[in-house]
Amino acid sequence: MVDRVRTGIGAHRRWMLQAIVPLSLLLLALVTVGDRLPFAALFLMMVLFYSSYSLYEVAQLSWGAALVRSPADSALLYGMRDWFSKIALILAFAAPAAAQLLIPGISLQGRIIAYASVFLVMVPIALFAIRHVPRRPVVAEPGIGWRHEIRASLGFPPLMLLLGVQFLNSFAFGSLTSLFVFFAAAVLDLDAQSAVLLFASFIGGALASPVWTFLARRFGKPPMMMAMGLLISTLLVTTLFRQPEGLGQAVGFSLALGTGFVGLLFTYSMLADLIPRDAERCGRNRSAFLFALLNLMQKFGVAAAIAVSYAMLDIVGFDPQNGQAAARELHLLFALQPTASWIVMAGLLVLMQRRFARL
């Protein structure tokens, strides 16, 4: 849609503005009446909400790619985007806790409203930014042309490797997030503090994002993404021999784990570097379509990780009601499943780096 429908000067700005309206209305409905809706209606609203968000995100990412003039630019641009998104995530996570401190006895509905209220602060900032970033033209061919788009994508090996990298990194991330609560309860014996540990991982990501941005600009994106996977894999495997003890060590572990949740910084900026080459091959800019593909691979990776993780938990006989019975198996799964994904991802990144060198 972004590349093909209602194109011309400032098309990305228009799509972003149009996506904000249903996002705001759907969030308001979910917060106020979501708990009273039948499942079918709630499911439909969630699909529409995330579809609107995906439209906004694809338009924004494609818009950002137009500002890139060098690999260093793309690392800085998408690195800062990643950093600000993590700060927003921390604020959203902290809002219900702050509401609970300021208003003792606040209901669950009140905490949900406090969480959603962060969106009210972010929307004016987004609107201000959209108005002040220069417009650029979007030229489209008539029709959707899926066969041509897919054929052009399959014939560009660096792009296909990048999509594989995105899937594997998302699979590793999805594995960690889907198993984290069980790991905190059964292995660390910190079920009541799992939210604190999750919050610590967000803070770790926010602290590390500027550092990874600097390293990506200085040493290149494929090597630094491999370093990220190696760092977190080493941390996970180390816990098999010496697991964190007590809340203090667990918080430190979560902070360190969060430093590796920056994979999108690398994949988005690498795609921005590929877009000019892709445009030379295709005769036009396909940035929105390519970012949509990358986002699709991210969703597939997380969904596959959740499916595989829960299937493996069933195979090893893990029961959330009696987690201690299969705690060792859960720990092995938590450490080794994402590590295996990152190892394969590193192999694809080596191939990508060689392809980049030939472009």
* The pLDDT value given to residue 4: 62
Identify whether the C-beta of residue 23 lies closer than 8 Å to the C-beta of residue 53: yes
Q: Which residues contact 78 (CB under 8 A, 6 or more apart)?
A: 64, 264, 265, 268, 269, 272
* The pLDDT value given to residue 2: 64
Identify whether the C-beta of residue 184 lies closer than 8 Å to the C-beta of residue 190: yes
pLDDT (tens digit per residue) in 173-198: 999 989 988 888 888 887 777 778 88
DSSP summary character for residue 359: -
Percent of the chain exceeding pLDDT 90 equals 38
Asked whether residue 75 carries a pLDDT value surpassing 70, the answer given is yes
Backbone angles phi, psi at 9, to 5 degrees: -70, 130
84 or 104: which leads in pLDDT: 84
Query: For the CA atoms of the chain, what is the radius of gyration?
Result: 21
pLDDT (tens digit per residue) in 294-313: 999 999 999 999 999 999 99
Length of the chain: 359
Alpha carbons within 13 angstroms on the beta-carbon side of residue 209 total 23
The per-residue DSSP string of 159-220 comes to: HHHHHHHHHHHHHHHHHHHHHHHHHHHHTS--GGGHHHHHHHHHHHHHHHHHHHHHHHHHH-
Q: How many of the other CB atoms lie within 10 Å of CB of 146?
A: 9
CATH code of domain 8-137+144-358: 1.20.1250.20
Tokens in use for 16? 């972003």
* The pLDDT value given to residue 348: 96
Lowest-confidence segment of 72-76, 80-84, 251-255, 276-280 by average pLDDT: 276-280
Domain boundaries, the chain: 8-137+144-358
Question: Is residue 30 exposed (0-12), middle (13-18) or buried (19+ Cβ within 10 Å)?
Answer: middle
